[in-house]
Chains A and B, each alone.
Chain A
């Protein structure tokens, strides 16, 4: 049997693929964070809670309204996006002129409130959400058994990542958004409704988190804790990628997913900290992150 670093090639390939799958979630989540930070300069600590809300939205829609996974994949992000828009309009927008710390504290408090409420209502063990029948089962790749659903996650999140990148870098709306970040007053002079653009951005960011949440619902227990478990890692991803860099967030998400996956084979005990070790090293060598521009 071929061996790589002392483990069989098959196991190695399997872990590589697992890393890619987890990386998809990291990429999707850090993408939303990067969009919000890049355009609003808000460190959105409520991102994990919005991810959790997405998963709960899917579950509640199925339980109470009979809405299946496919519609939930579209409706979930819309509902959470609207919720995000309300939060931005009524509360967050008042903090833009203050130190960014206020935005961070506000979103952190918001996250605790949302998670606490859901924990009170649903407990911490979480609830199950079934894999949609069309994507159930798995296929044997020879080196590992790949659940079809996980393959779907990789494909869909890649599409969502590239789509968002294109939206911001290549469309007119995207160019307005970027211009508004550079100089809001000037853009407003041209007749563009900047506050609306900012609300839209926050809603898109929250919607992306919810999208990841719906995708995650069949994989993990739908639990109030699912957001806080993942959010710290996602922040590390954004920092490594370079705060605000959208491409950086996507690429780093996948890279760190793979790095974490491989650590789980070689030294599992370190798997929860490897990402932070990488973060520390990157910050030492390139303080602006791998893809960040030096300020």
Chain B
């Protein structure tokens, strides 16, 4: 009898703690919001959703005893569409955190909504440093890369190789400006010169006119401060107009495995680029990549793996905090180190920036590629503290 009472007491106690530690509404819901049909659909897209689902499965499908659910939507690269979805998700769909958020203008809009509603957002797809600068949020995190890391990585490499005069082809929105400005600052700090720039609308088909202007500027390096299909088209057409053959170099400032695959090694060979992850880095990264490939028929880039890492870390943070309440989870996310196949020894700064090592990569020649998706040589590892802006100088008011 006594034993039974003791056991039921224990059970009650256990369930009591479990109860105290549960998620607010019986489940944890993560929203993946990104471009699934436009210029950036390969950059992140549906494959990011798949990566998020993989993270949930690897975590066990449950946290604090409640199921974890992934929902997703296409924001069409429109900040107004994205804000509406974000409001709906946070207000009526019990979404606890929104992630991925490719396209800087969209990420800025959604982070503002999240901040106002005291909800978590983790950006992996967008690049602008404003997310952890003047637009930073105590509940906002920037995970995979940013314009500063790209400027230091790709920009730095080309300056070192003697590329001291630059002309920019810039996508005409927040991301492009941010990338152009930071790369430009970096070039100037290294005694380089900016000889000109031209801004093109997002998703332009034809770059010949802009390329001609870049060509006649005589700059040694043409910096492509754009992304996705835009960059691929610009590179292809630069070769056509004899720009690369004429001795000018292209700096594809934001270019990932997905775009290299689309462009083909023939056109992309020799390009220098910066990513936070490469699938063929070591056993741990290959292991994930193979599983990812089995599901999506693509090898992952830093956006896909970054999304996996962000979801995983978010779930760990809920576990640590013992609740899915925003303040507590944000606190845990800020405190916990990030150590997985994506970020090794990563830390989260006060402004929400996840600081981790980046890789300077060069696209292989077709003859050097031994297997499908074997695209990069790793030129250098850029330590996180060099790649990312000093949080104290970010302009974020959370850093005092």
Complex CA gap A7/B210 in Å reads 14
Complex CA gap A149/B242 in Å reads 12
| Neighbour of B240 across the interface among A22, A131, A226, CB < 8 A | A131
Confirm or deny: A219 has a beta carbon within 8 angstroms of a beta carbon on chain B.
Answer: yes
Minimum C-beta distance from A18 to chain B (A): 5
Choose among B203, B212, B228, B267 the residue with the greatest number of A CB atoms under 10 Å from its CB: B212
Q: Digit string of B215-252 for contact with A (CB within 8 Å is 1, else 0)? A: 11000000000001100110011001110001000000
Q: Which residues of B contact A132 (CB under 8 A)?
A: none
- CB pair A220–B233 under 8 Å, yes or no, is yes
Confirm or deny: B42 has a beta carbon within 8 angstroms of a beta carbon on chain A.
Answer: yes
Confirm or deny: B121 has a beta carbon within 8 angstroms of a beta carbon on chain A.
Answer: no
- CB pair B266–A124 under 8 Å, yes or no, is no
Confirm or deny: A164 has a beta carbon within 8 angstroms of a beta carbon on chain B.
Answer: no
Q: Which residues of B contact A22 (CB under 8 A)?
A: 206, 208
- CB pair A221–B242 under 8 Å, yes or no, is no
Instruction: Choose, from B93-101, B124-132, B257-265, the stretch at the interface.
Output: B257-265
Confirm or deny: B122 has a beta carbon within 8 angstroms of a beta carbon on chain A.
Answer: no
Minimum C-beta distance from A9 to chain B (A): 12
Minimum C-beta distance from B5 to chain A (A): 61
Confirm or deny: B199 has a beta carbon within 8 angstroms of a beta carbon on chain A.
Answer: yes
Q: Which residues of A contact B42 (CB under 8 A)?
A: 123-125
**Are A219 and B240 CB-contacts (below 8 A) given A229-B203, A268-B210, A269-B199?**
yes
Q: Digit string of B256-287 for contact with A (CB within 8 Å is 1, else 0)? A: 00110111101100000000000000000000
Complex CA gap A265/B261 in Å reads 32
- CB pair A272–B240 under 8 Å, yes or no, is no
Q: Which residues of B contact A126 (CB under 8 A)?
A: 229, 232, 262
Confirm or deny: B205 has a beta carbon within 8 angstroms of a beta carbon on chain A.
Answer: yes
Complex CA gap A145/B172 in Å reads 26
**Are A123 and B262 CB-contacts (below 8 A) given A261-B209, A265-B213?**
yes
Q: Digit string of A258-270 for contact with B (CB within 8 Å is 1, else 0)? A: 0001001100110
Q: Which residues of B contact A230 (CB under 8 A)?
A: 205
Q: Digit string of A263-295 for contact with B (CB within 8 Å is 1, else 0)? A: 011001101100000000000000000000000
- CB pair A124–B199 under 8 Å, yes or no, is no
Minimum C-beta distance from A38 to chain B (A): 26
Confirm or deny: B84 has a beta carbon within 8 angstroms of a beta carbon on chain A.
Answer: no
Q: Which residue of B lies closest to A116 (CB)?
A: B37
- CB pair A221–B233 under 8 Å, yes or no, is yes
- CB pair A124–B39 under 8 Å, yes or no, is yes
**Are A138 and B242 CB-contacts (below 8 A) given A220-B236, A221-B236?**
yes
Q: Which residues of B contact A265 (CB under 8 A)?
A: 209, 213
Residues of chain A whose beta carbon lies under 8 Å from any beta carbon of chain B: 8, 10-11, 14-15, 18-19, 21-22, 116, 119, 123-128, 130-131, 138, 144-145, 147, 149-150, 219-221, 223, 225-226, 229-230, 261, 264-265, 268-269, 271-272
